[in-house]
């Protein structure tokens, strides 16, 4: 078997070593005897989602996100098609914000997102941030995830989304409803830096297992 991974905007959105999520998935797939190809797709480059089994988009600061927001419309139809058919994906921090409806920068500027998922992100006053170690629990999966968060945004989930987990300690999506991250079909989102999959191998295996099953079934 061979799986293909697409890393979106790796030259711009890689604030906290988020590329480590790609490395983790690649090594764990190879340990199963599965060949892995990783393609990078950035600004101005065409995107054909039919080639890929897993998508990843990392995090960046407001400046980088505003740059990416100008290119996203050219990739919107393909990414929406991929997500809606149940394609496997992972979006971290800035990438999480960008695939939603919109987000506000730390200074209150509203930036239009991809609109592929229904969540939206507001800013905090006085440049306040949610910073520190965080622990969440996903009771449906029976799994606990550990990570580090550092974000000004307050993200609120929309219809059809459920949180990646409930906050045990830390702030999470918005510091109000005890949610962290989002799951929509097979698209997983989180504010966890670190990277997420290095510290939470059971989540890496969940993403990989889903992608492998889809490949085997020809979906």
- Whether a cis peptide bond, with omega within 30° of 0, leads into 195 is yes
Contact 97, 65 (CB under 8 A): yes
Angle at 110 between CA 117 and CA 16, to 5 degrees: 70
Residue 213: name the closest of 22, 34, 92, 27 by CA: 34
Q: Is 125 exposed, middle or buried (0-12, 13-18, 19+ CB in 10 A)?
A: exposed
- Annotated catalytic, 63? no
First to last CA, the chain: 14
Token duo for residue 161: 């989304």
Contact 138, 96 (CB under 8 A): no
Select which of 6, 41, 93, 189 is catalytic.
93
Residue 187 CB partners (closer than 8 Å, separation 6+): 83, 87, 88, 89, 90, 91, 99, 116, 117
Helices (H), 87-136: 94-98
Select which of 7, 151, 171, 193 is catalytic.
193
- Annotated catalytic, 193? yes
DSSP character at residue 123: P
| CA pair distance 68, 5, nearest whole angstrom | 20
Catalytic positions are 93, 193
């Amino acid at each position: 078997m061979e799986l293909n991974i697409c890393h979106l905007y790796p030259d711009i959105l890689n604030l906290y070593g988020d590329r480590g999520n790609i490395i983790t998935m690649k090594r764990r797939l190879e340990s199963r005897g599965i060949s892995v190809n990783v393609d990078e797709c950035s600004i101005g480059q065409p995107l054909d989602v039919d080639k890929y089994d897993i998508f990843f988009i990392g995090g960046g600061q407001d400046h980088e996100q505003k740059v990416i927001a100008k290119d996203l419309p050219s990739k919107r139809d393909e990414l929406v098609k991929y997500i809606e058919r149940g394609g496997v994906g992972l979006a971290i921090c800035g990438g999480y914000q960008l695939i939603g409806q919109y987000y506000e920068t730390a200074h209150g500027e509203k930036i239009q997102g991809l609109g592929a998922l229904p969540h939206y992100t507001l800013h905090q006053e006085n440049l306040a941030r949610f910073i520190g170690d965080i622990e969440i629990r996903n009771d449906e999966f029976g799994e606990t995830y550990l990570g580090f968060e550092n974000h000004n945004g307050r993200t609120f989930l929309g219809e059809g989304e459920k949180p990646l987990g409930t906050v045990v300690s830390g702030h999470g999506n918005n510091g109000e409803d005890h949610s962290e991250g989002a799951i929509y079909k097979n698209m997983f989102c989180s504010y966890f830096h670190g990277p997420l999959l290095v510290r939470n191998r059971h989540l890496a295996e969940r993403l990989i297992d889903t992608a492998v099953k889809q490949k085997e079934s020809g979906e």
